[in-house]
């Protein structure tokens, strides 16, 4: 998956609608302290489904919504959308990709109403978004999204964490999600069969 564009509105310090084009060759973002560099990376992780407020440097998920300043009122919602292009090797089986291989994923949060997601204009669940990005070998915890202080964490990672990174790079993280789903369905079916046996035994 190649990320082409990021749009933000009401997200953290990006109170006004902001568009960031990610052109080939972009290797880093520079700017003065506090200008919002880390917020951009967090916006990418958030739209990919990040569910931990702590890892977004907040106390609760609504802390991603612009909180207001002395001169501007706070906002009641935050919205981030990410435009990606399908690359060879991406599975993307669960995504409503356009004929041009484009996929726009949008996440919106409203105060008191939680998050909602859309993929190419269709309402989707958080679970679907997780699968879309896992199939494209990325996601909110992708080692490719390196925030400040994370380089040391990658070096010090435990073997299981390294394995998870390698599995993600190999694009099989989505298969693990599907396996967990299938195992859950299997357990539910086994419970139903056991119940059916009991009912049949009672009828004999
Ligand atoms: P540094 O180089 O110091 O790490 P940075 O460019 O990475 O800085 P960020 O950490 O992305 O900057 O942005 C911090 C700014 O975002 C702070 O000014 C903070 O007040 C603002 N900010 C964070 N969350 C919100 C919010 N919910 N509402 C308004 N502003 C916010």
Does the residue 47 lie in any domain? yes
Q: Which atom of ligand 1 is nearest to the CA of 67?
A: 28
Nearest-CA neighbor of 19 among 6, 3, 31, 28?
A: 6
CA 58 to ligand 1: nearest atom: 24
Closest ligand 1 atom to residue 148 Cα is 4
Per-residue pLDDT for 179 more than 80? yes
Asked if residues 56 and 42 have their Cβ atoms less than 8 Å apart, the reply is yes
Q: Over 90: is that where the pLDDT of 193 sits?
A: yes
When comparing pLDDT for 61 and 165, which is higher?
61
Encode pLDDT of 90-139 as tens digits: 666 666 777 788 899 999 999 999 899 999 999 999 988 988 888 877 88
What pLDDT score was predicted for residue 27? 79
pLDDT tens-place string over residues 70-101: 999 999 999 999 999 887 766 666 667 777 88
Question: Which residue, by CA, sits nearest to atom 9 of ligand 1?
Answer: 36
Q: Is 150 left (phi over 0), alpha (psi -120 to 50) or beta?
A: alpha
Distance 11 CA to ligand 1 centre (A): 10
Position 36 scores a pLDDT of 93
Provide residues with CB under 6 Å of ligand 1: 12-13, 31, 33-39, 63, 65-67
Please write the tens of the pLDDT for every residue from 11-65. Answer: 999 999 999 999 988 878 889 999 999 999 999 999 999 988 888 888 889 999 9
The total domain count for the chain is: 1
Question: In angstroms, what CA-CA distances link 191 with 101, 164, 180, 181, 204?
Answer: 42, 31, 17, 16, 20
Q: Do the domain assignments include residue 192?
A: no
pLDDT band (50, 70, 90) for residue 194: very high
Please name the residue whose Cα sits nearest to atom 21 of ligand 1. 13
Question: Is residue 181 a part of any domain in this protein?
Answer: no
Per-residue pLDDT at 143 exceeds 90: no
Position in ligand 1 atom list of the atom nearest CA 74: 28
Domain range for 129: 2-171
Hey, whose CA ends up nearest to atom 26 of ligand 1? 12
Binding-site residue set: 32-39
User: What pLDDT was estimated at residue 168?
Assistant: 72
- pTM reported for the whole predicted model: 0.79
CA 14 to centroid of ligand 1, rounded, Å? 9
In a domain, 179, yes or no: no
Question: For residue 143, what is the DSSP state?
Answer: T
The pLDDT value given to residue 92: 62
Domain holding 158: CATH number? Answer: 3.40.50.300
Residue 202 lies in a domain: no
* Cα(77) to centroid(ligand 1), Å: 17
Q: What is the ipTM of this complex?
A: 0.94
Measured in Å, residue 112 CA sits from the centre of ligand 1 at 23
Q: Does residue 184 sit within a domain?
A: no
């Amino acid at each position: 998956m190649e990320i082409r564009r990021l749009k933000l509105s009401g997200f953290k310090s990006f109170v006004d609608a902001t568009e960031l084009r990610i052109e080939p060759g972009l290797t880093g973002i520079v700017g003065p302290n506090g200008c919002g560099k880390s917020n951009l990376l967090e916006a990418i992780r958030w739209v990919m489904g990040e569910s931990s407020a702590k890892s977004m440097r907040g106390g609760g998920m609504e802390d991603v919504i612009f909180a207001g300043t002395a001169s501007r009122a706070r906002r009641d919602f935050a919205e981030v959308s990410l435009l990606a292009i399908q690359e060879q090797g991406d599975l993307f089986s669960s995504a409503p990709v356009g004929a041009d291989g484009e996929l726009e994923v949008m996440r919106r949060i409203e105060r008191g109403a939680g998050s909602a997601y859309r993929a190419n204009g269709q309402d989707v669940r958080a679970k679907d978004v997780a699968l879309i990005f896992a199939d494209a070998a990325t996601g909110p915890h992708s080692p490719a999204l390196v925030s400040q202080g994370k380089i040391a964490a990658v070096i010090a990672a435990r073997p299981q964490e390294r394995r998870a990174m390698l599995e993600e790079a190999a694009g099989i993280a989505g298969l693990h999600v599907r396996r967990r789903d299938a195992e859950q369905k299997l357990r539910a079916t086994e419970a139903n069969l056991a119940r059916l046996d009991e009912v049949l035994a009672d009828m004999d």
